[in-house]
Chain A
Amino acid sequence: MTKKILLIEDEEALQQTMAEYLTDEKFEVLGAMDGQIGLTLAQTKSPDLILLDIVLPKMDGFAVLEEIKKDEKTKNIPVILLTNLESMENIQRAFEKGAVAYLIKADFKLEDVVKKIKEILKM
């Protein structure tokens, strides 16, 4: 069965590229350009995994993550933080709030991100 990935990313070029790559890898991709829409999609579309940026308009990634983990319907969806913000405080905060991985966009190839997704989804 096709796995559904929700991609919450405000940088259009990054979102498009990632979506195209994931689609080619046979994933179904849902996209959101801000935190609020992202959260709504997480609650209504039941994705199998969420790729979440931190710096987002309307609601930042940490607030979205917190809401996702509070909600009974969404709390079991694995969330990968995919960001270029790198600080020990952010990394700790992400894991404390329930993220399963913290990846730095600049250091990871699309291929590596997909590998991580497949590893988490046990594909």
Chain B
Amino acid sequence: MIIINDFNLRKQADELGIKVWQTPGFLFIVMGFVSVVIMTATYFISAYYDNPQVLVISECLVVVVVLIVGTSISRFVGQMANLNRMKSEFVAVASHQLRTPLSAIRWETELLLTKLKKGMNKKQVEKMKNISQLSLKMTRLVNDLLDVARIDQDKLILRKQDFDLAKLTQDMLDESVVAYESRHITVSSNIEKDLPEVCGDVEKIKLVLDNLIGNAFKYTTSGGRIHVGLARRNKDMIFEVDDNGVGIPEEQVGRVFEKFFRSDNASKYQTEGTGLGLYISKNVVEQLGGRIWFQSIENVGSKFSFSLPIAKK
């Protein structure tokens, strides 16, 4: 049983943070096959030449090959494991050390703005709100970078549960209404009634909605329009957000979900942005069993959609 467990290649790959074909178990199996092939060849060569010296030389050759390949494998695996451990440690340290002071700033400002607001004048409240929003933005940036690091290591954290996507979408639209009105952007929505729950990670899907709706808002000029829709299609729920914003240049549509990608016109129009939102959104949706896609024409607008599986009752 222990031997079988030791040769659980998937487990080895997960523990070392490498692919199955890179695991020591798999490479040693390959090396075993290579040794058998060489030994068979040796047998036939020695039988053909009928000379013990050829047999000794051939066997020495097998030992040398096994030693060289074995040492290379163990060195390679050691390096990979070390690199992956360093990456994981960086993510763990970064997540703790960067987020702790940020949490303190957010909680302090929240306390001031909710429980200790009395005596503060309008200007002071406004400044505190700015600090609160900026610390939230900084937290979001740190979280995005950590998510990218986790995606690269195939260790994105997803906590699946059933939740009401219709309510989440409506809540997010309601929260942003002041911002839309201040930019004179018309927002309409068509959320079907009595939709079933979906299965996914509610916090990460909130992030996906925020990215997609936020992008529509960012890249739509004043006086534009945004339409949000949510409907059931067979075993999936389909979300879509449609805008008449700046769109994506035709030659760049293939790169939209790439890490750090920002289209040329987007960078000109809106300097703020890391190019991580859509990359993270794609990975989150796909790892939850859904799909994400878009249609876009430069200077006409974009429509981003994603699907999520409906929760099994």
Q: How far does the Cβ of A45 sit from chain B's closest Cβ, in whole Å? A: 24
A106 touching B139 in the complex, CB below 8 Å, given contacts A13-B108, A84-B95, A85-B92: yes
B residues apposed to A, CB below 8 Å: 91-92, 95-96, 99-100, 102-104, 106-108, 110-111, 114-115, 139, 142-143, 146, 155, 157, 159, 203
Main secondary structure on B side of the interface with A: helix
B96 touching A107 by the CB < 8 A rule?
A: no
B157 touching A14 by the CB < 8 A rule?
A: no
Instruction: Return chain B residues, CB-CB under 8 Å to A13.
Output: 104, 108
B100 touching A105 by the CB < 8 A rule?
A: yes
B104 touching A86 by the CB < 8 A rule?
A: no
Instruction: Return chain A residues, CB-CB under 8 Å to B92.
Output: 85, 87
A17 touching B111 by the CB < 8 A rule?
A: yes
Among the listed A86, A87, A111, which residue makes an inter-chain contact with B110, where contact means beta carbons less than 8 Å apart?
A111
Q: A27 in the interface, Cβ–Cβ < 8 Å?
A: no
A residues apposed to B, CB below 8 Å: 11, 13-14, 17-18, 20-21, 24, 55, 83-88, 91, 104-107, 109-111
Among the listed B100, B115, B146, which residue makes an inter-chain contact with A14, where contact means beta carbons less than 8 Å apart?
B100
Main secondary structure on A side of the interface with B: helix
A109 touching B100 by the CB < 8 A rule?
A: no
Instruction: Return chain B residues, CB-CB under 8 Å to A21.
Output: 107, 110-111, 114-115
Instruction: Return chain B residues, CB-CB under 8 Å to A104.
Output: 99
Instruction: Return chain A residues, CB-CB under 8 Å to B143.
Output: 106-107
Instruction: Return chain A residues, CB-CB under 8 Å to B146.
Output: 86
22 residue pairs from A and B, CB less than 8 Å apart = A14-B107, A17-B104, A17-B107, A17-B108, A18-B107, A20-B111, A21-B107, A21-B114, A24-B115, A87-B157, A105-B99, A105-B103, A105-B107, A106-B99, A106-B139, A106-B142, A107-B139, A107-B143, A107-B203, A109-B106, A109-B110, A110-B111
A84 touching B100 by the CB < 8 A rule?
A: yes
Docked CA distance A106–B99 (Å): 6
Instruction: Return chain A residues, CB-CB under 8 Å to B114.
Output: 21, 110-111
